[in-house]
Amino acid sequence: MAKTKSKFICQECGYESAKWMGKCPACGAWNTMTEETIKAASPGRRTTFNHSNSTVQKPSPITQIENAKEPRIHTRSKEFNRVLGSGIVKGSLVLIGGDPGIGKSTLLLQISAQLADNGNEVLYISGEESVKQTKLRADRLNITSDKLYVLAETDMEYITKAIEETNPSFVIVDSIQTVYQSEVTSAPGSVSQVRECTAELMRIAKTKGIAIFIVGHVTKEGSIAGPRILEHMVDTVLYFEGERHHTYRILRAVKNRFGSTNEMGIFEMKESGLEEVLNPSEIFLEERSKGAAGSTVVASMEGTRPVLVEIQALISPTSFGNPRRMATGIDHNRVPLLMAVLEKRVGLLLQNQDAYLKVAGGVKLDEPAIDLAVAVSIASSFKDVPSKATDVIIGEVGLTGEVRRVSRIEQRVVEAEKLGFKRVILPEANIGGWIPPAGIEMIGVKNVSEALQKTLGG
């Protein structure tokens, strides 16, 4: 008979050990080692490779593989299609994570209804709610499709049978932390359970060509709970972000084997569910205070989409020895770097000033093209001189104070022209080689000092 052994597995990173340890040597987390029982394989049993078996695939030259391009399945939500890379791919495994109550289940139930209305059979499996609770949400969202099947189950064996009997085109599992394999003795949500259940769902998706969406819980730090292997196994990883007490939600792709990894979709939470926002730039700028010092507008690229957002800076003197540097929506390490450039290259005395920066609307910007707008915001607040409300500022700032070239300048300028901006302050290297839209002035700058002269008058 097979012997039963036990091992200790870290619930944060998946590190395995033969004995219990208070601190995981791999990730450094405390009190995360949990004992799990495993069954060793019976002696004498060995899997042999049979060359006569027709089901075994043999290696083929890549030039002889047929390139079969399958059409993507589109939903009525253009924002959802954009984030996935222009639609859903058959046989794909998509992981969606987000804070509790952010609207993951609502979004997937709405997408399920849209797919079902198009004639596709959809199986919605809920491990956290009963069928009646799911029905209550469906009534609130006005979902009345006969092609949408609902199942409340957490046993992976019964889920597999339900998928085989229903044979749907799409499956939603909410959530992966509640599903368990009966052969694995650990509790649902553990490293072993998450790994085995995800592997089974991946096998179903690839062999049957079913697109499967799974919901993943997140930790306090905002990352997907469980081992990193969960994100490696799936084809696409989506994060649903936003403040629970605000109406706007951001669906962001951080991994996508079938499209761009920086795409972003904007949704607004209403009583009837989530509604897509087709022009997010207007939303982020609608409450902007014109003529306020420390406020600038930058055109940032989110995947293939240009988005205009407002950057706010507040510079105030401090009597303490260590001034504060705080940033929301921007890398906090970039703020002291740009302030050092302004102090060294421009001559602004910022060493005794507290600096607070924020990206309005809750968007997180991480591309270098926002450097110049951040620098102008800091200088504007320090001098108490507002920049023009019709200016858009784009550019990367180097340590020597130069303004460097940015990518996709044409799309950024076209988006600024759509929203009525009159001037674009951009790197001089980006001028030329293309025709800007009529009615908008292009001002090229070589360094930060020249940019401040053009925007603040000195």
Binding residues for ATP: 98-105
Residue 342: DSSP 8-state: I
* Alpha-carbon gap, residue 94 to 198, rounded angstroms: 11
Q: Residue 223: in which H helix or E strand, if any?
A: none
Q: Hey, how many other C-beta atoms are within 10 angstroms of the C-beta on 347?
A: 8
> CB-hemisphere CA count at 13 Å for 434?
14
CB 213 within 8 Å of CB 94 = yes
Residue 86 per-residue DSSP state: S
For 162, the enclosing helix (H) or strand (E) is helix 156-166
How far is it, in rounded angstroms, from Cα 127 to Cα 176?
8
Contact of 177 with 217, CB cutoff 8 Å: yes
What amino acid occupies position 59? P
Question: Taking each helix axis from N to C terminus, what angle separates 191-208 and 156-166, rounded to the nearest 10 degrees?
Answer: 10
String of b and e for 100-113 (b: at least 16 CB within 10 Å)?
Answer: eebbbbbbbbbbbb
* Three-state secondary structure call for residue 433: coil
Phi-psi map region of 365: left, alpha, beta (phi>0 left; psi -120 to 50 alpha): beta
- Helix spans in 316-426 (H): 334-341, 371-383, 409-418
Binding-site sequence positions? 98-105
CA distances from 274 to 76, 213, 277, 321, 382 (A): 12, 18, 10, 48, 40
Q: Are strands 353-359 and 325-328 parallel, antiparallel or unpaired?
A: parallel
CA distance 236 to 92: 8
